[in-house]
Structure 1
Amino acid sequence: MARLQLNKSSLAKHTRALKSYKRFLPSLDLKRQQLLAERAHAYRILDELKSEEEALYHFVKTQLPMLSNSDIDISNLIAIEDITVAEENVVGIKLPSLKHIAFSAPSYSFLAKPHWVDNYCLQLKKTVTATIKIALQKQRINRLEEAVATITQRVNLFEQVLIPQAEHNIKRIRIFLSDEQMVAVVRAKIAKKKVLDQTSSLSNPIDSAEGML
């Protein structure tokens, strides 16, 4: 660590740095508050999506009990044909967002399948969509958690290290310069007194000579 220079130039440097830190800190803290709010919102959405998924499972379980009939083939009824995940900028953080999902379904004879299969396919699409949204929402939360941790470290750096250190350095330099100024004043007074004494002695040579007898 570089040794602290106790001079006016160093004082000006640390004073400018302190002003910069104090000017930048509020914007950092504001962004942290925004990220914390966005993270809390993301968790609420995740809870809603999980509730939606549970509700879908409950609906299928209670409204479509015939699914337990192993004689009816309900495999490969749908498939994900296309899925589009985009990124949106939230408080400067890129977060994934589901933009589009398309399903394909093989055609089957209405006579070969019971009437409730169509409803099951619809609920299955909703459930798959909810599951994908949950996975993406977890990714959003992970990125927000990382962003919150990073900016919290920066805020703590300013609050607990940079600003206190700059204030401490400024205080040390000012005390040193004040002491130096005081010493200089004392030296100047002593020098002035010596000059006055010498001048007084030279202006009264007879008194000086008599003082020597």
Structure 2
Amino acid sequence: MAKLKLTKNEQKTQKDALKMYQRYLPTLTLKKQQLQSEIRAIDEKAKSVRAEKKALEEDFEKWISVFGEKDAFKPDMVTVKNIKKGWGNIAGVKIPVYEGADFGRGDYNLYSTPLWIDMAADRMEKALELDLEAEVLD
């Protein structure tokens, strides 16, 4: 620790610094508390998104074998067109906020494709959306 000079000028400098710290310290601790509570809330939200994604994957496992049908579900059936991200402000710190995504559906013949394609495409969109939200939360 640096040794302080024992002069009147140094005493005044130290008193001014103490006044400044006493004035701004409550504000800084409040910002710190806000950021910590926001981090905890984001962690909880990320855990819930991952749990929802896991439940969706378990539901997929029940009927995943139908994806193996020849020419039924193509990789370009569901595509991400646009990811909507915004910015939030927590205690003066900019954080990214997930606002949604736009998905595109591939063209397919309603008469020649199986009936489960629409439900599978909806679930694939939901899985992709959960992945994108978890990515933004991380």
TM-score of the aligned structures, taking structure 1 as reference length: 0.59
The answer to whether the aligner puts 1:71 opposite 2:70 as a matched pair is: yes
Q: Give, as a single letter, the amino acid of the residue that structure 2 aligns with 1:79.
A: T
The CA deviation at 1:5 is 3.3
Question: Higher helix fraction: Structure 1 or Structure 2?
Answer: 1
What is the aligned-residue identity percentage?
Answer: 24
Q: Deviations over 1:17-53 (max 9, x none)?
A: 1121122212111111111111111100000000111
Cα distance in 2 between the residues matched to 1:54 and 1:70: 24
Q: Give, as a single letter, the amino acid of the residue that structure 2 aligns with 1:71.
A: K
Cα distance in 1 between the residues matched to 2:135 and 2:2: 49
- The equivalent residue for 2:6 is 6
CA radius of gyration, larger in? 1
5+ residue gaps, structure 2: none
Give the aligned length: 137
5+ residue gaps, structure 1: 139-213
Greater RCO, 1 or 2 (C-alpha within 8 Å, sep 6+):
1
Q: Give, as a single letter, the amino acid of the residue that structure 2 aligns with 1:36.
A: Q
Q: Deviations over 1:29-84 (max 9, x none)?
A: 1111111111111100000000111111112212x244253424312211112222
Cα distance in 2 between the residues matched to 1:73 and 1:81: 22
The CA deviation at 1:114 is 0.7
Q: For the aligned residues, what is the CA RMSD?
A: 1.9
TM-score of the aligned structures, taking structure 2 as reference length: 0.88
Q: Deviations over 1:109-148 (max 9, x none)?
A: 122211011000000000000000000000xxxxxxxxxx
- The equivalent residue for 1:86 is 86
The answer to whether the aligner puts 1:120 opposite 2:120 as a matched pair is: yes
